[in-house]
Structures are given as C-alpha cells and as structure tokens.
C-alpha cells in the first residue's frame, strides 16, 4: 500500500502546472473576456487617424463567473474609446452577470503645433507651424491634425513655440467688417434678389451677421467670402 501511494504522488508531481491552472468546468475563461474587450475597442476605434493601440488592464483571475457563449461588450455612459476607459461585459444567458474592465486606447498620429511664438490675434501662416507626432489621447481635446485647419486663422491667446493648436481657440479671418458695403442676396422658391447693404458687425465665413439696407431695415444673413451676405426665405 505504501509503494502504491508513493507512486501516485510521484505521478501527480510530474504533471505540468498548467493542468491545475485551467478554469473549472462551467466557469468563464478570463482570456475570452480580455479578447472580447480588445475586439470591441478595435471596432470602436476603426477610422481614427494614425496608429491605434488597445491595452486591456489586468483582470482578476479569482472571479468566478459562469461560462457565457457570447459576452456583450458596451461602453459606460459618458465613456468613449479614447485614452483611459472602462468597458462593460454583459452575459444574459445561461447566467446573468456584468463585469467592468479597465482599458487604454492610444492613438499615435500627427498634430499641428506652433513652430514659433504666436501673438494673440495674429494671422497664422504655414511657415509658423510644425507637424509633430504623439498620442492624441494625451493632448488637449480638439487639437488640429491638419495644417489646412489652421492657416489663415488667428489664435485667441498668445502661444509659445511647440504648443499644440486647439481648434476651439482659433478664429477664422473675418470676411465682413462693420460698416463694410456688402452685396445682400435674398433667395427663395423661384426667386433671387440682390441689393447693397452695410454690415453692422464682424463675421467670418459661414457666421451670422447683421446688415442694414438702404431703407434702414436690419436683416440677419450668412457671411460669405467676397463681401456677400446670403438670406434664405
């Protein structure tokens, strides 16, 4: 009896450790949860500029979840597939459970920064800009990614060299100035009328501006390049 017991213990000790690390039958495989989060975030980030890298955080291997044939991934309210985020995984059958897993989405791409100091209100030229590369998720929201988004506009604040340019801090060059004589074009179903008027305010292309007609009537229209103001009826 002693010999048989010793032999059995020797055989068990010779088995690889992986044989004891497998999840119990009927339990959810943690590796599947990680894969589900990765695939979900890769789909959510499809189409983003640059190189996207998805990193799933550590998952507690002590979780005892019932096996689920198709876990459903979702984002928390207010969350998005950008930077540090949280992804939920939900199972509805055969057992209902929900877990939340931390992840990080990095987006390596080019962004536009000032190559020289920029003064407030200064019209920006291409030679004053430089394209840099970095993780967009760590930069301010709305950073410019194309020089064409910046050239010809001006900044609301003075900026030092090397500062990323945010679109919400840039102003377009005015196409209509106060007192400027503009061409007022009124259009509607089957008609178009053109007349002269004077601008009351300042506006960039596409912005609403008020003008005063020769008869003294004040009208709001959309400013266009070339001193045009369009009014649609």
Residue spans per domain, the chain: 25-107, 108-171, 174-232
The half-sphere exposure of 212 on its side-chain side, counting CA atoms within 13 A, is: 9
Per-residue tokens: 56? 């799933």
CATH number of 108-171: 3.90.1210.10
Residue 197: count of CB within 10 angstroms of its CB: 22
User: What sign for the dihedral angle of Cα 14, 15, 21, 24?
Assistant: negative
Which whole-number Å values give the CA distances from 195 to 2, 29, 181, 183, 192, in the listed order? 112, 73, 10, 6, 10
Evaluate if pTM is beyond 0.95: no
Which whole-number Å values give the CA distances from 46 to 51, 56, 71, 87, in the listed order? 10, 17, 21, 16
* pLDDT tens by residue, the chain, 233 residues: 444 433 433 333 443 433 334 445 588 999 999 999 999 999 999 988 889 999 999 998 888 899 999 899 999 888 899 999 999 999 998 899 999 999 999 999 999 999 999 999 889 999 999 999 999 999 998 999 999 999 989 999 999 999 999 999 998 888 898 999 999 998 888 888 899 999 999 888 888 999 999 888 999 999 998 899 999 87
Spatial separation of the C-alpha atoms in residues 32 and 43, rounded to whole Å: 17
The pLDDT of residue 93 is 87
Statement: 174-232 belongs to CATH 3.40.50.1390: no
The pLDDT of residue 14 is 42
Spatial separation of the C-alpha atoms in residues 229 and 177, rounded to whole Å: 12
Residue 41: count of CB within 10 angstroms of its CB: 23
Which residues make beta-bridge pairs with 217? Answer: none
User: What sign for the dihedral angle of Cα 76, 79, 82, 86?
Assistant: negative
Spatial separation of the C-alpha atoms in residues 111 and 108, rounded to whole Å: 10
């Amino acid at each position: 009896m002693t010999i048989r017991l010793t032999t059995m213990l020797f055989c068990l000790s010779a088995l690889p450790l992986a044989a004891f690390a497998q999840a119990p039958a009927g339990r959810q495989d943690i590796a599947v949860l990680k894969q589900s989060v990765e695939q979900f975030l890769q789909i959510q980030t499809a189409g983003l500029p640059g190189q996207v890298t998805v990193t799933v955080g550590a998952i507690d291997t002590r979780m005892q979840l019932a096996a689920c044939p198709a876990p459903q991934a979702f984002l928390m309210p207010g969350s998005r597939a950008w930077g540090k985020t949280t992804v939920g995984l939900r199972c509805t059958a055969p057992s209902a459970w929900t877990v939340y897993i931390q992840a990080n989405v990095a987006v390596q791409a080019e962004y536009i920064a000032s190559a020289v100091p920029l003064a407030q209100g200064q019209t920006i030229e291409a030679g004053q800009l430089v394209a840099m590369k970095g993780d967009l998720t760590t930069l301010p929201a709305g950073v410019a990614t194309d020089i064409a988004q910046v050239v010809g506009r001006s900044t609301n604040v003075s900026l030092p060299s090397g500062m990323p340019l945010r679109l919400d801090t840039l102003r377009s060059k005015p196409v209509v100035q106060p007192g400027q004589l503009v061409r007022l074009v009124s259009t509607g179903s089957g008609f178009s009328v053109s007349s002269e008027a004077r601008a009351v305010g300042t506006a960039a292309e596409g912005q609403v501006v008020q003008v005063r007609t020769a008869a003294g009537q004040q009208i709001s229209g959309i400013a266009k390049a070339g001193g045009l103001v369009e009014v649609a009826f």
